[in-house]
Amino acid sequence: MLVYDIHDLTKIYPGQTRPANDRITLQIEAGEVFGLLGENGAGKSTLVRQMANLTRSTSGSITLFGAPVDAVGADPLHVPRCVGYMPQEPGAMNLLTIGEALYFTAHLRGLSRADARRERDRLLDLWGIGDLRDRATPRLSGGQRRLLRLAVAMAGMPPVLILDEPTNDLDPQRRKMVWDNLRRLNHEQGTTIIFVTHDAIEAEKIIQRVCIMRDGRVVALGRPGELKQRVDQKLRLELFFAPGAPPRLPDGFTPRRIEPGRWLVLLERAQIGETVNGLDLDRLDDFRLYSATLEDLYLHYANDAHSTQA
C-alpha cells in the first residue's frame, strides 16, 4: 500500500528566488523505514513539513493514503489522524507537564481517557522518562525534550511517523535506545517511519530506503545496497595501530590516513586474500574489512557535483 505519493513538489519561500525544494517526486510504501539525508539547507525539513501539511507547497502534489494533503478542499484532519510528526524544534507544549503532553496527545488522536492514560504510562516507560512525568516541559534538558517529542509523535500509535533529526543532542546510550525502539516499532506494528538526519552512520542502523537531497533536489533514491553498488565496488580495510608505529603494507598500496594510528586502504575484491595474508599482525592493534557504507554514499551524492538526479 502506498503511504505517500509525492509528485513534482516545489516550495519557494516568500521573498526567495531559489526553491527550497525543486520538483521532488517520490513514493513511500507502508511499513518502510525511509531516511532523508543531506547537508544543512538541502531541503529535508521543508519536505517533511510539506508532508506533515505544515508548509504549503508552491506547486506539485502530495497524497497520503490516496487522499490529498494540501490541495484546496483537503481534509485538514487527514494528516494529524495518520501521522505522528516530530519537529526539529519544540512546539507549543510549554505549559504542560510531560505526563499531560502525552495524555492529551493520545486522547486527541482518538484514545479514550483510560486508554490515553495507559498510553502515557507505556510511553513514559518506553523512553525511560517516567521520573519526569510531572516536570514542566521548559525545565527539561535538550535530550529530554527530544525524547518527549519522540514520545508525543508516537502517542496513540499513528501508522506513520515523520521524525526530523530524532537523535540530535542525545548521548550514545539514548541514541541506541531511539534506533532500537524505532526498529522494534517498525517490526512489531509495521509503522512506516520517515526520518531526517545528517548522520549517515547512525541512519545505517535502521534505514531500508534512502533519499539523498542536495540543493532542494533528489540526487539519489533507493535501497542503500543498490546505491552502494553504483558508487564504488572497492572494499575498505581499516587498520588500527599504535600512533607512530605503522604496519608494513604490500607493495603498491597507498593508505589514506584517517587519524594518528588509523589508516584506510581501498581494495579491489581480488586483492583481499593477498592483502590480509600479507598484513603485519604484530604491528596492528586491530583491523576491519567492510564494503561501502551509507556514509560513503552520502559523501558521494551529497557533495559530489557530478551526481545526477536519480
How far is it, in rounded angstroms, from Cα 137 to Cα 96?
6
CB of 173 to ligand ADP, least distance (A): 26
Q: How deeply is 71 buried, as exposed, middle or buried, from its count of CB atoms within 10 A (0-12, 13-18, 19+)?
A: exposed
Q: What share of the chain is helix, strand, coil (3-state, %, to 5)?
A: 35, 25, 40
Q: How far is the CB of 158 from ligand ADP (least distance, A)?
A: 22
Q: Which range, of 35-43, 100-108, 247-255, 289-297, touches ligand ADP by CB under 6 A?
A: 35-43
User: Binding to ligand ADP by residue 303, rule CB under 6 A?
Assistant: no
Cell digits of residue 266: 581501498
How many chain residues bind ligand ADP (CB under 6 A)? 11
Chosen residue from 2, 7, 13, 115 binding ligand ADP by CB under 6 A: 13
Residue 48 or 123: the one with the smaller Cβ distance to ligand ADP is 48
Q: How far is the CB of 104 from ligand ADP (least distance, A)?
A: 27
User: Least distance in Å: CB of 218 to ligand ADP?
Assistant: 12
- Rg for the chain, CA atoms, rounded: 22
Among the listed ranges 33-41, 130-138, 219-227, 278-286, the one in contact with ligand ADP (CB under 6 A) is 33-41
Cβ distance to ligand ADP smaller for residue 43 or 99: 43
Phi/psi for 116 (5° steps) reads -65, -35
Nearer to ligand ADP, 201 or 242 (CB): 201
What are the angstrom distances between the C-alpha of 30 and each of 87, 138, 179, 211, 243? Answer: 21, 35, 19, 16, 49
Spell out, one character per residue from 37 to 76, where the chain touches ligand ADP: x when CB under 6 A holds, - when not.
-x-xxxxxxx------------------------------
Quickly tell me which residue has 519522540 as its cell: 150
DSSP 8-state code for residue 248: P
- In whole angstroms, the minimum distance from the beta carbon of 119 to ligand ADP comes to 30
Cell of 95: 505549559
DSSP state, 157? -
What nine digits make up the cell of 96? Answer: 504542560
Contact residues: ligand ADP, CB under 6 A? 13, 16, 20, 38, 40-46
